[in-house]
Amino acid sequence: MEPAAGSGGVAVAGAAPSRLVSGATARPPSAPTEPPWVRRLLIAVALGFLGLFVVVPIAVVIDQALSQGLGVYRRAVTDPAARDAIALTLKVAAIAVPLNLVFGVAAAWAIAHFRFRGRALLLTLIDLPFAVSPVISGMVFVLLFGAHGLLGPTLRAHWPGLTIIFGLPGIVLATVFVTFPFVARELIPVMEAQGAEEEEAARVLGASGWQMFWWVTLPKIRWGLLYGVILCNARAMGEFGAVSVVSGHIRGRTNTVPLHVEILYNEYNYAAAFAVASLLLLLALVTLAAKRLVEHRARVVDAAPLDPAPLDPDDAPAARLVPTEAAP
């Protein structure tokens, strides 16, 4: 068995590395440690760093959003333009996330359970959108579908009414591009760690391919899937750079929530900009809470031994999630 090179571990620029598959070993209290003053100093440095760089920005958003009072806040978030932006953002996410969900399951199935030529290359190519600047992610679609693009003039000749760039299709395409790796990246290590013994058993017992998928695979990967969807959705709703390139900034038509925030800010309407931004902050905090919950549930559910697989007596229950290939 060749090692599962290049598939587990840390995702590339843009996403949190998977925290569903972990191999933590408990540290005994007797382990050597630093003198108390060093410990206190390091904790102070870490807390100071996170306080300045994370807590202050969060607090600033809330403070600025409420700086002109609750009335202004309420007007800003219920303004027709804001409502249109929220509706568009929800619509874009509702299209882009399922598309990447289907892709992610297919890619993870092929990559986690099969060995084939070019597998490592495929993994790298899936990561590509994380490494590309958001501006370039949007720009490539302008080069393809724009008025002077590769396909733009042809499309316009055949379907005069169709707008891709400066319209919903362009925004969806750019969003699918930037969120492309999320679900696949989360599922691959989960599927690799779980193996396919249950699926093989289902096949031996006579299940069809789809029966096996619906009744065995999907329940097995549900936490990993949910985790990927949560991260994918957060990025889809919050994407700014790529969407900024392909949307025409048309108020009420092609303005997503992040773009609406920018417009308000550029109009010096700071309180309103931060009020709408606070909705995105809320989205981020809800995302993090949901992510925590899924991590917790995944650990509790998946750590319970379902099969009598021989476990190393020294291993913590969670060690079952570690890919066997990675064991020394």
Partner 1 sequence: MARRGPGALPGFGLALGWTLTWLSLIVLVPLATLVWKSTDLGWAQFWALATSKRALASYQLTFGTALAAATVNLVLGTVVAWVLVRYRFWGQSVVDALVDVPFALPTAVSGLAITAALAPRGWIGSVLADHGVRVVYTRYGIAIALIFTGLPFVVRSVQPLLQQLEPELEEAATMLGASRWQTVTRVVLPAIAPAALTGFALALARGIGEYGSVVFIAGNRPMSTEITPLLIMTRLENYDYAGATALALVMLVVSFALLLGINLLQAWSRRRGAAA
List the interface residues with partner 1, window 123-162 (CB under 8 A). 124-136, 139-144, 148-150
Q: DSSP of 291-328, one letter per residue?
A: HHHHHHHHHHHHHS--S-----TTS-GGGGGS-GGG--
213 belongs to the binding site for partner 1 (CB under 8 A): yes
Query: By CB neighbour count within 10 A (0-12 exposed, 13-18 middle, 19+ buried), where does 36 fall?
Result: exposed
155, 168, 284, 293: residue in contact with partner 1 (rule CB under 8 A): 284
d(CA 149, CA 156): 11
CB contact set of 233 (below 8 Å; sequence gap of 6+): 93, 97, 287
d(CA 166, CA 319): 49
43 belongs to the binding site for partner 1 (CB under 8 A): yes
226 belongs to the binding site for partner 1 (CB under 8 A): no
d(CA 254, CA 88): 7
267 belongs to the binding site for partner 1 (CB under 8 A): no
Closer of 84 and 264 to partner 1 (Cβ): 264
List the interface residues with partner 1, window 52-111 (CB under 8 A). 52-61, 64, 99, 102-103, 106-107, 109-111
Q: Residue 285 CB, nearest distance to partner 1 (Å)? A: 8
32, 71, 80, 308: residue in contact with partner 1 (rule CB under 8 A): 32
C-alpha dist (Å) from residue 257 to 9, 75, 90, 306: 32, 15, 9, 44
35, 80, 160, 206: residue in contact with partner 1 (rule CB under 8 A): 35
200 belongs to the binding site for partner 1 (CB under 8 A): yes
Q: Residue 14 CB, nearest distance to partner 1 (Å)? A: 7
291 belongs to the binding site for partner 1 (CB under 8 A): yes
283, 293, 297, 316: residue in contact with partner 1 (rule CB under 8 A): 283
9, 252, 305, 317: residue in contact with partner 1 (rule CB under 8 A): 9
**Per residue in 45-74, is it b (16+ CB within 10 Å) or e — as a string?**
eeeeeeeeeeeeeeeebeebbeebeeebbe
Q: Tokens in use for 221?
A: 């990967």
Q: Tokens in use for 45?
A: 């440095």
Find the part of the chain contacting partner 1 (CB under 8 A) among 23-31, 78-86, 156-164, 307-315. 23-31
d(CA 91, CA 292): 26
91, 203, 251, 253: residue in contact with partner 1 (rule CB under 8 A): 203
245 belongs to the binding site for partner 1 (CB under 8 A): yes
List the interface residues with partner 1, window 247-266 (CB under 8 A). 258-259, 261-262, 265
Find the part of the chain contacting partner 1 (CB under 8 A) among 71-79, 117-125, 297-305, 306-314. 117-125
80, 116, 117, 158: residue in contact with partner 1 (rule CB under 8 A): 116
Count of residues near partner 1 by CB under 8 A: 123
**Of the candidates 99, 224, 106, 228, the residue with the CA atom closest to the CA atom of residue 174:** 99
**Of the candidates 318, 295, 300, the residue with the CA atom closest to the CA atom of residue 18:** 295
